[in-house]
Chain A
């Protein structure tokens, strides 16, 4: 009789441990992500970027570039080339973003014009107000 009671106790403990070892991961799995996952917004003054120029800033740990296009206004794009990860540079004369590693060309919307990249450059949401620009 004692053996059975011992076994029952042991199995109960093991069973509860097993259940707990699944409940804890489950709670962590379903819990909403902490504040770290939320993106930070950046505010720039319009006067910092004259027409036809661009400014390189880090945005959410990604190198980004804000371009003041003469025809279509402000745009915020990621500088990480979608081919292998090199950082693209703004070519004012040709109105393009060019990647120094393998010559990829992107237009100022982020779309691939030529070269090896498979996808366009990610865009960041941008809101233009009277004096400033809100990015992110």
Chain B
């Protein structure tokens, strides 16, 4: 039966050939490590967000007078609404974690070097879009937490002279965060950003496949031996088959991260939903300890300690720019981070600084 279906498809689209080139005879480097699975895990978590997001959309009402109640209805009245909402909330934070891990792993293994600069740049934009997803989605429940965290986030751009005020006004759509802001964030979160990121995901995967998977730099790297003067596809004839060997590794990682997600939903359901998340937004009353969500804490804290507002925000913009254009700043041929003590030092110091700022931001 199965064979008959396969034959039917084979005659029409050459299924056998497709499966061979893209699955069974597509090979990944022999020394590939588990970190290479993170990109796929990010894709799976993004899909979880889209699917749970759709189901939330069935009951959510994007009108400021009703948004909060509709979310509470999902949590309390709709059967198993709590499950999908929790998956969406915890999943979003976990997706940021996975995407950051993925970026760090790629950086660590020099996967941004020639000829993969474009892949890196598309990836950094995907990270920025993911953060924008988080920012826009945060406002939608219209709780005290949403309202005031968004007020802070949309006022930060004003640190930049003139242009900052215009950007902040554009984001808010009114003087203060209001129902107008809710509507534009909703449109952004539900339509524009998914479209943009789908295109970027397609581009990113196309680039990875077209150029070919990089080898981890620890050990021999045959790529570096020949100079890049014309296009050639990187292949690994002595490596593992993508399907089923590498796909199995990817599946394990997906299961692990899903288990982590449900660990948080089971034992720490209020970690990302503190008391302020269950109080309707009140524009006249600021809660005592409002802070941005954890992924924004580092830039927030950095901005607080730098005495000059303009300098603070310019520094952040410079850092983002450096991050995006890194492949053009580090054009050394050597791929192996362990052989590059200065870069290794810079890498670890930046990572530790980011963690320090995040923790400082939480407790200050």
A-side residues, CB < 8 A to B, are: 25-26, 28-31
Q: What residues of A have a CB within 8 angstroms of the CB of B78 in the complex? A: 29
CB-based contact A30/B83 at 8 Å:
no
Instruction: Please indicate the chain A residues that have their CB under 8 angstroms from the CB of B58 in the complex.
Output: 30
Residue with the highest number of chain A CB atoms closer than 10 Å, among B55, B79, B83: B79
- Determine the chain B residues whose CB is within 8 A of the CB of A31 once the complex forms: 79
Q: How far is the CA of A31 from the CA of B81 in the complex (A)?
A: 12
Give me 17 A-to-B residue pairs in the complex whose CB atoms sit less than 8 angstroms apart, sorted by A's number: A25-B79, A25-B80, A25-B83, A25-B84, A26-B55, A26-B80, A28-B79, A28-B80, A29-B55, A29-B78, A29-B79, A29-B80, A29-B81, A29-B84, A30-B55, A30-B58, A31-B79
Encode B54-79 as 1/0 by CB contact (under 8 A) with A. Answer: 01001000000000000000000011
Chain B residues within 8 Å of A26, by CB? 55, 80
Residues of A within 8 A of B83 (CB): 25
What's the minimum C-beta distance from A122 to chain B, rounded to whole angstroms?
12
Chain A residue with minimal CB distance to B258?
A18
Q: A25-B80, A31-B79 are in contact. List 14 more A-B contacts (CB 8 A).
A: A25-B79, A25-B83, A25-B84, A26-B55, A26-B80, A28-B80, A29-B55, A29-B78, A29-B79, A29-B80, A29-B81, A29-B84, A30-B55, A30-B58
Q: How many residues belonging to B are interface residues under a CB distance threshold of 8 Å?
A: 8
Binding site for A on B (CB under 8 A): 55, 58, 78-81, 83-84
Give the residue name and chain of the B residue nearest to A29 (CB).
B80
Whole-angstrom distance from the CB of A101 to the nearest CB of chain B?
21
B68 to chain A, nearest CB (A): 13
**Chain B CB within 10 A, most for which of A25, A29, A30:** A29
Cα separation A25 to B84 with both chains bound (whole Å): 9
Task: Point out the residues of chain A lying under 8 angstroms from B79, CB to CB.
Answer: 25, 28-29, 31
> In the assembled complex, how far is the CB of residue B209 from the closest CB belonging to chain A, in whole angstroms?
27
| Shortest beta-carbon distance from A34 to chain B in Å | 10
> Smallest Cβ distance from B171 to chain A, in angstroms?
27
> In the bound complex, what is the Cα–Cα distance between A30 and B83 (angstroms)?
13
Distance (Å) between the CB of A97 and the closest chain B CB? 22
| Nearest 10 pairs of A and B residues by beta carbon | A25-B80, A28-B79, A29-B80, A25-B83, A28-B80, A29-B79, A29-B78, A29-B81, A29-B55, A29-B84
- CB-defined contacts of B80 to chain A, threshold 8 Å: 25-26, 28-29
Q: Which residue of A lies closest to B59 (CB)?
A: A29
**What is the chain B residue whose CB lies nearest that of A37?**
B77
In Å, the complex CA distance between A100 and B241 comes to: 77
Q: Report B180 CB to chain A, min CB distance, Å.
A: 20
Q: Which residue of A lies closest to B58 (CB)?
A: A30
Instruction: Write the chain A residue with the least CB distance to B79.
Output: A28
B63 to nearest A CB, angstroms? 15
A114→B82 CA distance, assembly (Å): 38
Closest A residue to B280 using CB positions: A118
Complex CA–CA separation, A134 to B84 (angstroms): 39
Report the minimal beta-carbon distance from B84 to chain A, rounded to whole angstroms. Answer: 7
A28 proximity list for chain B (CB < 8 A): 79-80
Closest partner residue, chain B, to A28 (CB atom): B79
**Distance (whole angstroms) from the CB of B67 to the closest CB of chain A:** 15
Query: Which chain B residues border A25 with CB–CB below 8 Å?
Result: 79-80, 83-84
Q: How far does the alpha carbon of A26 sit from the alpha carbon of B81 in the complex, in Å?
A: 9
Across-interface contacts of B81 in A (CB, < 8 A): 29
**A125 vs B198: C-alpha distance in the bound complex, in angstroms?**
45
A25 to B58, CA, bound (A): 15
Taken together as a complex, chains A and B put the C-alpha atoms of A29 and B58 apart, in Å, by 10
A25 to B80, CA, bound (A): 6
Q: How far is the CB of A41 from chain B (nearest CB, A)?
A: 22
CB distance from A50 to the nearest CB of B (A): 36
Closest residue of chain A to B56 (Cβ to Cβ) is A29
CA distance A29 to B82 in the complex (A): 10
Q: How far is the CA of A28 from the CA of B78 in the complex (A)?
A: 8
How long is the Cα–Cα vector from A28 to B80 in the complex, in angstroms? Answer: 7
